Structure 1
Amino acid sequence: MPTGWSSPLGRLLSRTGLGVLSCFIPPSLVDEALAVAGRDEQRFRALPSRLGVCLVLALCLLRAQSAAAVTQAMIPPGMVRRLAGLGWALPTSTALTKLRDRLGVVPFQLLFTAMTRPVPTLVRPWSHAFGLQVCAWDGTEITVDDTPANREHFRRHRGGNGPVGTPKARVLVLLACGTRQLLGAVTGGLGQGEVTLARRLVTFLRPGMLLLADRNFLGYPLWSAARARGTHLLWRAKLDKPLLSPQHLLPDGSWLAILHDPADARAWRNNVRRNRKRGHRPPKPRPIQGITVRVIEAWITVTVDGVPRTQKYRLVTSLLDTDSAPADQLVALYARRWVAETGIRELKTVLLQGQQLRGRTPIRAQQELWAALTTYQTIRLLITHAANTGTLDPSRISFTAARDTATAAITITPGQAREHLEHTCQHLHRQLITRHTHHRIFPRALKNTLHRYPHNGKTRQLTCTTASYRINTATPTTGQDTANPTHPRASLSSWH
């Protein structure tokens, strides 16, 4: 829109943006996303699409304010008077709602994809292990506004007497454990499980990654799809399934096993059943198709305030070499998977302030969800930039402090954003976390997600910032009771 933005009104409106975050989401990138999505205007509007994109992103920073108040907060006071002199007035809530409906969801998905494109990263102790970038994926549920349209699109949890609770959107994110930046994300309703969404998230994997995942994801189809992308895996497995019988014992207590293809196993059983039914001889035995994996079993003892708690973990990895990837280091590395939980907590509790999405239609709810993911990624890029200027671990910079700093600088024009970026980094350096947070623990809080209304009987759990851990790997031997922690192979590592 060269003629529109070159008008006096257009030149003033083009100066609105996201403050210091405009360094990472420049107006040219917003215009490109709108052009690709087909949402750019053929004529200049009093509420242009670029302003609408910045408004939806700013709504994620200023959660407590209305859309009209956020629009006013984005425009400096002096510019408001100049716009009023040209006949422009602050829009009403109805006009802003129509603007959001006109934009749709696609521009925000394109913006998020542009913000998460892969870039070369430096090898740091907090971001890499065994020469690979440590990543993790995990899913969560985000509450949306309880309207008939949202209930039909996102669905609700099922109870004994039918659907209960409020509708929720399911999100699966892929994070870099060192910087907590998002490398990809997919969304859906409660009708789509995390494993189903993970099949779509596999496309964001690439060689040079080491992916950590919880025990819900282990399965032959998803494992083979992730390995086909050239990514190494370290996933937790359930203790009873899949069956991972030892094929070859390794010096560090781990063993090699075969992760069988369940589809091939079902085909073999159907063939046997078909021959028996027809009176034919059973087919000749053949090996079931599978992938060679390395299995590590360990007893992890956590002592908090003098009270120990022991639990058995089984990990499955594609790193088969015991010299380059010892078992004790892999077990200790798996603790970084909690970074995915921390990133999700920052998204839901800090950025969204524990509130539901305000969109009353599925389009607006999805739009706000992708805007929240984009805003989270932008703040993470700001933190990474500030950490790189001082060669710091990004975990020492508070996400809340970065959000508050970006919110306070929302009135800075995109042309001045680069000048204020250095001042913002210095401000974040003065608020560094005094100690690293890698060994802090936060117990899972009991919560009830099925009730529609909040209740006062929430469970309060104490959080301890000091805990000691001890890892004992177990070697499978004939006659050994693997369910008894009194038969460990050796105490390989412990830390405080």
Structure 2
Amino acid sequence: MGVLWDMLQESDDRLTDHIGLGVMTRVVSRDLVDEVLNYTEKNEKRSRLLPARVVVYYVLALTLFYGDAYEEVLRKLVNGLQFLRAWRAEWVVPTTGAISKARVRLGVEPLKELFSRIAVPIATPGTRGAWYHGHRVMAIDGVILDAPDTEENVERFEKNKHSNGESAYPQVRIVGLAECGTHAMVAAEIDSWRIYERELTERLLDQFEPNMLVLADRGFYSYDLWKQAGETGAALVWRVMKSIRLPVLEEYSDGSYLSELLPKQLKADLNKGMKRRVPEGVRIPVRVIEYRIGNRKSPEIIRLITTLLDHKEAPAAELAALYAERWEFEIGLDEIETHQIANYRILRSKRPDLVEQEIWGLLITHYIIRHLMHQAADDIDIDEDRLSFIRSLRVVRRSITNDADFPPSTR
């Protein structure tokens, strides 16, 4: 403590030079942030009260303290200096206006690039619920968030029009690819609510890998998207609507059956008896698993299609149980909505570019918390599902308000 006090008394640097972000810097180090700023050409050309590096950490802090005003969040970042009685009289917390201008200067790209660099699958071979026969179990899903009702946000994201009128706020759609065993989102796309989940999923396909098994709900299926997703080499288990006609080509002992997929118009023509030549490679073989959930009075039929055609290596009962893991991603999205944004339910930013910047910040902080939870669970050899996200979030918040120097610390 005495060394830190002497350093602060002797130096003539700025208050923001001593901002810390606690345990989060285990994942987002100062060097990494500098690399990202250099890559996106956002490093400062001249000395400012709020340098770009500080603004990156500040945006992350905004997503952890949703109930606090801009200036109050910055005060939390330097709270440790006051605790050590190392606060200088000449140090002044920047105004809300100065903070907003600094965020505009920073833009979206550094946060987006930072997410792409840190957000990688983190499950190890021993992580419970993360694997199926050597495949890393992943899921795709989406969520819609409300943005402040400003003219710029409405123009960019639009309000959701429906039979009862329109939404109170412009809405932003996020579709992500996440690891089911850890809830860690490893890729995402952001756009207006008007851009449907399938289109955003197409933008994520380059993140699919052959060692993955990707789960998806029935809203994601289309012939074209399934074909493109299958060409990535990833195994697929997707739910489809009951209205899709799937001919029974061969029945298996586990209750599943072999079928095939065809383009919608071609299938319609063939069903009408029209003679159409089916080009090579157009017929896509799939295995179909159907089962019932719920009670006898109101059962729900679940219908899955999969690229895993061998019913002995991947029995229907196992895939039905595996599909339930998709809810782990639903829980992950709920952690962002319910705990990080909490009761506010609306993003902070009044400009479209800052809305996207804020969302990338949310995804980064959620990933970091999940990364820390994974490490903790691995250290004591327990299932991550036994750890509380909200308690972990509180730990991260406390680590920030108790920090007293710029990361990484030598302590």
- TM-score, scaled to structure 1: 0.75
How far, CA to CA, are the matches of 2:44 and 2:327 in structure 1?
A: 44
Which residue is equivalent to 1:363?
353
How far, CA to CA, are the matches of 1:10 and 1:222 in structure 2?
A: 54
**Pair 326,78 (structure 1): closer, same or farther in 2 beyond 3 Å:** same
Which residue is equivalent to 1:70?
73
Which residue is equivalent to 2:291?
298
Q: Which amino acid aligns with 2:41?
A: G
How far, CA to CA, are the matches of 1:98 and 1:83 in structure 2?
A: 25
CA shift, 1:229, in A, is 1.4
1:228 aligns with 2:218: no
Q: Which amino acid aligns with 1:368?
A: E
How far, CA to CA, are the matches of 2:157 and 2:16 in structure 1?
A: 36
1:334 aligns with 2:323: yes
Higher RCO (C-alpha under 8 Å, 6+ residues apart): 2
Return 5+ residue gaps in structure 2 as ranges: 1-9
Return 5+ residue gaps in structure 1 as ranges: 1-6, 273-281, 420-496
How far, CA to CA, are the matches of 2:216 and 2:111 in structure 1?
A: 27
**Pair 418,331 (structure 1): closer, same or farther in 2 beyond 3 Å:** farther
1:104 aligns with 2:107: yes
Task: Check whether the contact 1:359–1:365 (CA below 8 A) recurs between aligned residues.
Answer: yes
CA shift, 1:79, in A, is 8.5
**Pair 160,13 (structure 1): closer, same or farther in 2 beyond 3 Å:** closer
1:251 aligns with 2:244: no
**Pair 335,395 (structure 1): closer, same or farther in 2 beyond 3 Å:** same
Q: Following superposition of structure 1 onto structure 2, how do residues 338-417 of structure 1 map, counting pairs within 5 Å?
A: 338-354=327-343, 355-410=345-400, 411-412=402-403, 413=405, 415=407
1:324 to 307, 313, 319: 313
- 1:61 partner SS: coil
Task: Check whether the contact 1:26–1:414 (CA below 8 A) recurs between aligned residues.
Answer: no
CA shift, 1:70, in A, is 0.9
- 1:141 partner SS: strand
**Pair 291,39 (structure 1): closer, same or farther in 2 beyond 3 Å:** same
**Pair 290,181 (structure 1): closer, same or farther in 2 beyond 3 Å:** same
Q: Following superposition of structure 1 onto structure 2, how do residues 310-321 of structure 1 map, counting pairs within 5 Å?
A: 310-321=299-310
Task: Check whether the contact 2:189–2:200 (CA below 8 A) recurs between aligned residues.
Answer: yes
Q: Which amino acid aligns with 2:21?
A: L
- 1:38 partner SS: coil
CA shift, 1:14, in A, is 3.6
Q: Which amino acid aligns with 2:341?
A: L
Tell which deviates more after alignment, 10-19 or 252-261.
10-19
CA shift, 1:25, in A, is 0.8
CA shift, 1:325, in A, is 0.7
CA shift, 1:225, in A, is 1.3
CA shift, 1:9, in A, is 4.3
**Pair 336,160 (structure 1): closer, same or farther in 2 beyond 3 Å:** closer
- 2:309 partner SS: coil
Which residue is equivalent to 1:430?
none
How far, CA to CA, are the matches of 1:334 and 1:65 in structure 2?
A: 39
- 2:60 partner SS: helix
Task: Check whether the contact 2:122–2:371 (CA below 8 A) recurs between aligned residues.
Answer: no
Using the aligned pairs only, state the percent identity: 33
CA shift, 1:80, in A, is 9.5
Which residue is equivalent to 1:179?
182
Q: Which amino acid aligns with 1:256?
A: L
**Pair 96,287 (structure 1): closer, same or farther in 2 beyond 3 Å:** closer
Task: Check whether the contact 1:301–1:309 (CA below 8 A) recurs between aligned residues.
Answer: yes
Q: Which amino acid aligns with 1:153?
A: R
**Pair 59,185 (structure 1): closer, same or farther in 2 beyond 3 Å:** same
CA shift, 1:311, in A, is 1.2
1:141 aligns with 2:144: yes
How far, CA to CA, are the matches of 1:297 and 1:216 in structure 2?
A: 17
Which residue is equivalent to 2:4?
none
How far, CA to CA, are the matches of 2:302 and 2:275 in structure 1?
A: 38
Q: Following superposition of structure 1 onto structure 2, how do residues 153-232 of structure 1 map, counting pairs within 5 Å?
A: 153-160=156-163, 163-232=166-235
Which residue is equivalent to 1:426?
none
Task: Check whether the contact 2:287–2:309 (CA below 8 A) recurs between aligned residues.
Answer: yes
Deviations 1:362-385 (A, max 9, x none): 111111111111111111111011
How far, CA to CA, are the matches of 2:410 and 2:229 in structure 1?
A: 39
Q: Which amino acid aligns with 1:77?
A: L
How far, CA to CA, are the matches of 1:133 and 1:208 in structure 2?
A: 6
Task: Check whether the contact 2:171–2:192 (CA below 8 A) recurs between aligned residues.
Answer: yes
- 2:324 partner SS: helix
Deviations 1:394-451 (A, max 9, x none): 11110000000010110324557685xxxxxxxxxxxxxxxxxxxxxxxxxxxxxxxx
- TM-score, scaled to structure 2: 0.89
**Pair 418,325 (structure 1): closer, same or farther in 2 beyond 3 Å:** farther
Task: Check whether the contact 1:142–1:356 (CA below 8 A) recurs between aligned residues.
Answer: yes
How far, CA to CA, are the matches of 1:13 and 1:284 in structure 2?
A: 69
How far, CA to CA, are the matches of 1:9 and 1:27 in structure 2?
A: 21
How far, CA to CA, are the matches of 1:222 and 1:22 in structure 2?
A: 38
Point out the structure with max Rg over C-alpha: 1
How far, CA to CA, are the matches of 2:74 and 2:309 in structure 1?
A: 55
- 2:139 partner SS: strand
CA shift, 1:15, in A, is 3.4
**Pair 107,9 (structure 1): closer, same or farther in 2 beyond 3 Å:** farther
CA shift, 1:103, in A, is 0.6
Tell which deviates more after alignment, 204-213 or 408-417.
408-417
Task: Check whether the contact 2:15–2:92 (CA below 8 A) recurs between aligned residues.
Answer: no
Q: Following superposition of structure 1 onto structure 2, how do residues 468-479 of structure 1 map, counting pairs within 5 Å?
A: none
**Pair 126,160 (structure 1): closer, same or farther in 2 beyond 3 Å:** closer
Q: Following superposition of structure 1 onto structure 2, how do residues 41-60 of structure 1 map, counting pairs within 5 Å?
A: 41-60=44-63
CA shift, 1:189, in A, is 0.3
Deviations 1:190-243 (A, max 9, x none): 1100111110111211111111110111122111111111110111110011x2
Task: Check whether the contact 2:208–2:234 (CA below 8 A) recurs between aligned residues.
Answer: yes
- 1:68 partner SS: helix
RMSD of aligned Cα (Å): 2.6
**Pair 124,100 (structure 1): closer, same or farther in 2 beyond 3 Å:** closer
**Pair 285,409 (structure 1): closer, same or farther in 2 beyond 3 Å:** closer
**Pair 102,9 (structure 1): closer, same or farther in 2 beyond 3 Å:** farther
Deviations 1:129-151 (A, max 9, x none): 22211111111100110111111
How far, CA to CA, are the matches of 1:247 and 1:339 in structure 2?
A: 33
**Pair 324,62 (structure 1): closer, same or farther in 2 beyond 3 Å:** same
How far, CA to CA, are the matches of 1:124 and 1:290 in structure 2?
A: 37
**Pair 234,378 (structure 1): closer, same or farther in 2 beyond 3 Å:** same
